[in-house]
Every structure is written in C-alpha cells, then in structure tokens.
C-alpha cells in the first residue's frame, strides 16, 4: 500500500459513519492516526487525497449550510475548492455506496490495535 492509499483509507475511516468536514474532523483524525504510525499528515495532503476519493466516486461533497431535513439535498458536483481552512464549516464529505463497500471490504490495513496502540506487525506505507 502506498502512502496516498493509506491516507485515503484514513480519510474514508474518518467519515464512514457521518458527514464530516476537513477542518473540524477529517484532518484531526487522519493526522492523529498518522502520528501514531510515525509520520505527519498535513491539510494539503488530506485535501489532495480527498479529491482523489471524490474523483474515484468513493466520496461526495455536500454543502450542509442550508440543508434542512435532508443533508443529501446539499450535494455538490465534484470537489469544491478548499485552498484555505473553512471558518463557516459549510462543506462536508460522506462516503458513497461504492466508498462504503470499499471501506468495509478489508480491515487488515488498519494500523492500530483495540487499545489504540500501533500494531506490532504493521508496516509503514511505501511511497
């Protein structure tokens, strides 16, 4: 598994049960697990890999600022610009059905044990 693939799986894991924003949850979750694995992940890398997930049809973007009742009604086409951190937290992401299937298809990549410590048999992704 490459570093990009690993980061993409961390992103999918971060948003597998709810709509999440890059600046509130996704970056924090991905960077936290990556730190336990011995490397740093910063916002530009998360945004770049989130773009790859959206382009692959594994995730979609949503504007939840005006979505009353049905959050899926705020679906955006493609990947919105996320050049700077959001302060209004309008843009959220969620897995597509294809993304859910991919996420649930293989749990062997997950680097942490049940106690949140790095698994002894886990290997750092190659570049």
Interval 4-45: pLDDT, tens: 999 999 999 999 999 999 999 999 999 999 999 999 999 999
CA distance 65 to 89: 8
**Total H helices, total E strands in the chain:** 4, 2
CA distance 65 to 106: 34
Domains of the chain in start order, with CATH, are 3-105 (1.10.10.10)
What's the pLDDT score for residue 69?
Answer: 73
Q: What does residue 57 show for φ and ψ, rounded to 5 degrees?
A: 80, 20
What's the pLDDT score for residue 75?
Answer: 86
Q: Look up tokens 């945004």; give the residue.
A: 47
- What's the pTM value of the predicted model, to 2 decimals? 0.92
CA distance 75 to 115: 36
- The upper half-sphere exposure of residue 120, i.e. CA atoms within 13 Å in the direction of its Cβ, equals 0
What's the pLDDT score for residue 42?
Answer: 97
Mean pLDDT of 66-92: 84
Q: Which of the pair, 90 or 14, is modelled with greater confidence?
A: 14
Structure tokens at 29: 């979750």
């Amino acid at each position: 598994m490459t570093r990009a693939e690993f980061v993409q799986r961390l992103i999918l894991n971060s948003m597998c049960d709810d709509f999440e924003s890059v600046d509130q949850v996704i970056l924090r979750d991905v960077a936290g697990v990556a730190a336990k694995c011995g490397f740093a992940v910063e916002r530009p890398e998360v945004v770049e890999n989130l773009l790859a997930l959206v382009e692959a049809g594994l995730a979609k973007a949503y504007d939840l600022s005006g979505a009353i009742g049905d959050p899926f009604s705020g679906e955006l086409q493609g990947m919105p610009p996320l050049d700077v951190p959001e302060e209004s937290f309008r843009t959220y992401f969620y897995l597509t059905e294809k993304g859910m299937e991919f996420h649930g298809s293989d749990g062997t990549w997950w680097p942490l044990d049940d106690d949140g410590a790095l698994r002894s048999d886990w290997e750092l992704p190659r570049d």
